[in-house]
Amino acid sequence: MQRASERTVSVHLTHGDDYLGPLGPFEVAGGWWSSAAPVVERVSALVGVPVVVVRLAEVAEGGGGHGGHVVYHAEALERPAALEPRPPQAETAALLGPAERRAGWATPSGLREALDWAEQALRQAGRPAAGRAEQVRTWNLSGLFRFTTPSGDAWLKAINPAFNARESEVIALLGAVDPTLVPPVIAADPGIGRLLLDHVPGEDCWGPSAETVADVLPRLVAAQAALAADGRAAAAGLPDRTPAALVGRVRALLDRPETAAELTAEELAAARALADRLPALVEELAACGLPETLVHGDFHPGNWRSDGRNAVVVDYADSCFGHPALDGLRPRQYVSEERWSQVAEVWVEAWRTHAPGSDPQRALELVEPLYHLSYAVRYQEFLDHVETSERPYHEGDPAAEIRAALAR
């Protein structure tokens, strides 16, 4: 996992319709912009009341989602006794004002509604929350909160349903085949993009052991093969990111002015030539004999969670109907060369078992340019659906993935 450089933080604090002024700058532990917990802890201590981070409002100097100086909008959940409302300066008012494509959880009212929904769902499940939620992460793609309950922790995740999969439905689909592969769902409102999950014991597998690889990959492949064989994956209404569908989306991406602006003329010409070769590549990939099925979409080991006995796969916002080799290739950039050799071997053998006569080894080799181009398309979807202040999380990513495809 990439290490984050340090960040300094400033905060514009509100309470409802009242602006309570700026705080900072100050340093906080951990450099990832999305890491809300240390910001919440510092600001709550400063003002003496519980606080939540609403959204990233501005960033300077940092890049790749970490470092630099970060400005947040934060909301005081109770009125601080020591702070009086004041009119914001025009620049601040514009920074905190409404914006197109703002996420539902990235407003004070939206945050309160999401937290109230989760508390009510926990009460209905017989697991009332013991105190306020702990905000763990908030960024342009999701908000994540942890609740303490008498029977263990529960997690609220909020996503934008406009460009993400309905996670609860994906979990139900996979869980019908292998319930131990997915996290337990307490409640869900997929139309709004809210998901309440039971806690999964263990740790995220950023450095997966050989045992974890040997556990999680064959189980995912078995579930994907089963869902392909009985037609449930095709009938589930998942976003269509099959290789054939990606061909047109790649061409559309290359036609966008912002893509042309980020690539050199030589790179753009090479990318168009690669796009022209994609139909033949898609045919060759299909000839490998692997079925199109439910694809996790972000199957890196940080989305595997293990207690040493069983691994659970989490985070299904990028799930789609597509080619399973996209999942097979995903762990490579997150593991050592030695571990990648094992991942590839286990994945290939699993598909040989479930798709006799197929050539998963060849599919894993062929899919690499399409893998990078699929992420270029996906990152552009992110940029198209987030507000301007949140674009630094993914600006430059589509072009970087196009270059990676050309390098392969």
Please name which of 256, 257, 216, 242 lies closest in space to residue 339, comparing C-alpha atoms: 216
pLDDT in tens, 148-177: 999 999 999 999 999 999 999 999 999 999
Residues 68 and 137 in one domain: no
Asked if residue 225 lies in contact with residue 354, where contact means CB atoms within 8 angstroms, the answer is yes
Largest alpha-carbon pair distance within the chain?
72
- Quote the pLDDT of residue 4: 57
pLDDT in tens, 269-323: 999 999 999 999 999 999 999 999 999 999 999 999 999 888 999 999 999 999 9
Judgement on whether residues 219 and 194 belong to the same structural domain of the protein: no
Q: Which DSSP string do the residues of 66-91 spell out, in sequence order?
A: BSEEEEEEEEESS--TT----PPPHH
Q: Do 78 and 211 sit in the same domain of this protein?
A: no
pLDDT at 134: 97
Q: Is the sign of the CA dihedral 117, 119, 122, 124 positive or negative?
A: negative
Contacts of 244 (CB under 8 A, 6+ apart): 282
Q: 85 and 125, same structural domain?
A: no
pTM, full prediction: 0.95
- Indicate whether 321 and 189 sit together in one domain: no
**What's the number of domains the chain is made of?**
3
Q: Are residues 291 and 167 in the same domain?
A: no
pLDDT of 3 reads 54
- Residue 286 included in any domain: yes
Q: Is residue 217 assigned to a domain?
A: yes
Last residue of a domain, one of 96, 130, 148: 96
> Where residue 64 falls among pLDDT bands split at 50, 70, 90?
confident
pLDDT over 80 at 2, yes or no: no
% of the chain at pLDDT higher than 70: 99
Work out whether strand 185-189 and strand 320-322 pair parallel, antiparallel, or are unpaired: unpaired
Residue 102 lies in a domain: no
Task: Let me know if residue 1 belongs to a domain.
Answer: no
**Is the separation of the CB atoms in 49 and 65 below 8 Å?**
no
Confirm whether 103 is domain-assigned.
no
| Number of other residues whose CB lies within 10 A of the CB of residue 244 | 15
Reported confidence tier of residue 5, pLDDT bands at 50, 70, 90: low
| 118 domain residue, yes or no | yes
Bridge partners of residue 66, in order along the sequence: 32, 63
Decide if 403 is inside a domain.
Answer: yes
- Over the chain, what is the mean pLDDT? 96
Domain boundary (166, 198, 230) is at: 198
Spatial distance between the Cα atoms of 19 and 15, rounded to a whole number of angstroms: 7
Query: Do 260 and 392 sit in the same domain of this protein?
Result: yes
**Does residue 141 sit in the same domain as residue 252?**
no
CATH number of the domain within which 372 lies: 3.90.1200.10
Residues 396 and 260 in one domain: yes
Of 62 and 100, more confident:
100
- For residue 186, give the amino acid letter: I
pLDDT digits (tens, 9 = 90+) for 191-250: 999 999 999 999 999 999 999 999 999 999 999 999 999 999 999 999 999 999 999 999
Q: What is the pLDDT of residues 384-405, one digit of tens each?
A: 999 999 999 999 999 999 999 9
pLDDT digit string (tens) for 346-379? Answer: 999 999 999 999 999 999 999 999 999 999 999 9
Q: Is the per-residue pLDDT at 408 higher than 90?
A: no
Report yes or no on 400 lying in a domain: yes
B/e letters for 111-133, b = 16+ CB within 10 Å, e = fewer, are bebbbebbbebbeeeebebeeeb
pLDDT value of residue 1: 47
What are 51's two structure tokens? 């606080």
- Domain span holding position 254: 203-407
Question: Do 114 and 92 share a domain, yes or no?
Answer: no
CATH of the domain at 148: 3.30.200.20
Return the structure tokens found at 284: 């060759």
pLDDT above 90 covers a percentage of the chain that reads: 95
Q: Which of 96, 126, 143 is the last residue of a domain?
A: 96
Residues 233, 337, single domain; the answer is yes
Q: Are residues 280 and 393 part of one domain? A: yes
- Residue 120 pLDDT > 90: yes
Quickly count: other Cβ atoms within 10 Å of residue 27's Cβ.
12
- Residue 40 clears pLDDT 70, i.e. is over it: yes
